[in-house]
Amino acid sequence: MSEKTHFIYADNAATTFPKPHEVLAELLEIYETKGITGRGSYDFSIRAGEFVNRVRRQVCKFFGGDDPTRVAFGYNATDALNTLIQGLIEPGCHVVSSRLEHNSVLRPLHHFLQQGIISLDLVPFDSQGFIDPEDVAGAVRPETRFVILTHGSNVLGTIQPVERIGAICRELYVPLILDVTQTAGIVPIDMGKWGIGAVAFTGHKSLYGPTGIGGLVLSSNLDVRTTRFGGTGFDSTSVNHPKTYPQRLEAGTINQLGVIGLSAGLNYLERQGLDKIYAYEMSLIRQLRDGLSSLDGVRIYGAGSMERCLPLLLCNIDGMDSEQVCTILDGDFGIATRGGLHCAPLVHRDLGRSLKGGVRFSLGLLNTAEEIDRIVEAMAEISRFRKNGLRD
């Protein structure tokens, strides 16, 4: 058997892999005719530009946005979050976020906090991994510029009650920015219905696109300052960056290959159906949870019921460093997982695992029930070995 057939990939929260063949085929086919910038006046270029705008409409619809021109492409979610955070903060403003956040939110905010530009409150999460909307309400002050939260934790897999938080933010006239890195492509997202000011997304995780493409969707009642400047393909007589969207938030040539791949990924999701994807992936994670729960020495973190959760599970084997477990899973069993802190240090700190982190299994559409059985068997063997030493 080839390496590929041996390999069980359970690190889909980092990036989905492998990409579906039909996504890759569509990407290559379209790139052959639309793989140029849309800034020229020749027909090929105009068609390429029209294609990008079609993808803006597709993305806007996918996230329930209200204006496709306010879909701005970037490299990934971190890039989009930086665009939003840097374009929204004002000296002396206050920001509300949470202790569940990834460093893609924590680090930009702490950069401005340490410079004395902003003040910051991070709301806690409960023992199950959920933020209490009332904590968000209590943290908002008159000078709060925005609330920025992860929709789904990349460590615990918990989906936050953003409908309720969105309603609270709307009542308080504070924009809610959502990091939908882990949820986009797994659960429906409706900016309009939930009162979301902006979402930041990446294309390469559960949207099944390639790496290097992501972006943001901005609601029409929220404006973001330009923080990067450059060529936009129009109004070239002016040395000032345009104020119109989406160019206002895009500088330089767009990742055309990425946009095409993102579109192919969205088309793929539409054919599969989000409800079916979620049901399938959650059936796998429940199977994994049930299997691991029955093992001695395996500790599982996060929500007990797996209601409002992503297909992601964090655990540890007693007495073992998470990275050791991951190395053994890879080297002895051909299972790819992620140990350590998952770039979300405060979550682990609050779980009391700050030094060792945890073993994260994150499943995708291409995982199978047979693979879950193999993962459980592998974890059982490692746990036994830790306790009793090697069998003959």
Partner 1 sequence: MIEGEEVSALGVRKRSIAGKEIYFDKDGFLLNANDWSEEAAEILSREMGIKTLNEKQWQVIRFIRDFYMNNGKAPLSSELKAALGWSLMELELMFPGGIRHGARLLAGLPNPQSCS
By the criterion CB under 8 A, which residues form the site for partner 1?
Answer: 321-324, 327-328, 330-332, 338-343, 355-357, 381-382, 385-386, 390
Residue 293 sits at φ, ψ, to 5 deg, of -60, -25
Smallest separation, CB 7 to partner 1 (Å): 11
Nearer to partner 1, 99 or 145 (CB): 99
Six token digits for residue 97: 């976020």
Smallest separation, CB 102 to partner 1 (Å): 11
Nearer to partner 1, 139 or 315 (CB): 315
Six token digits for residue 265: 């990924």
Contact 94, 141 (CB under 8 A): yes
CA of 266: how far to CAs of 137, 210, 250, in Å? 34, 12, 21
Residue with tokens 């930086």: 82
Smallest separation, CB 176 to partner 1 (Å): 28
Smallest separation, CB 318 to partner 1 (Å): 13
Contact 65, 222 (CB under 8 A): no
Smallest separation, CB 292 to partner 1 (Å): 18
Give alpha helix (H) positions in the chain.
3-6, 21-34, 43-63, 77-88, 103-114, 133-139, 162-171, 191-194, 256-272, 274-293, 322-333, 345-351, 369-388
Smallest separation, CB 361 to partner 1 (Å): 16
How many C-beta atoms surround the C-beta of residue 271 within 10 A?
9
State which H helix or E strand residue 149 sits in. Answer: strand 144-150
Question: How many whole angstroms separate alpha carbon 261 and alpha carbon 277?
Answer: 19
Smallest separation, CB 243 to partner 1 (Å): 39
Residues ≥6 apart with Cβ < 8 Å to 263: 30, 51, 54, 55, 58, 209
Question: How many whole angstroms separate alpha carbon 313 and alpha carbon 300?
Answer: 7
Smallest separation, CB 18 to partner 1 (Å): 19
Nearer to partner 1, 87 or 339 (CB): 339
Nearer to partner 1, 187 or 335 (CB): 335
How many C-beta atoms surround the C-beta of residue 362 within 10 A?
28
Render 331-365 in DSSP notation, one character per residue. Answer: HHH-EE-B-BTTT-HHHHHHHT-TTTB-EEEE--T
Nearer to partner 1, 48 or 298 (CB): 298
Nearer to partner 1, 172 or 343 (CB): 343
Nearer to partner 1, 7 or 31 (CB): 7
How many C-beta atoms surround the C-beta of residue 208 within 10 A?
29
Six token digits for residue 140: 């908002």
Nearer to partner 1, 260 or 328 (CB): 328
Nearer to partner 1, 293 or 327 (CB): 327
Nearer to partner 1, 6 or 276 (CB): 6
Smallest separation, CB 325 to partner 1 (Å): 8
The C-alpha angle with vertex 77 and arms to 71 and 82, in degrees rounded to 5, equals: 85
Smallest separation, CB 252 to partner 1 (Å): 30
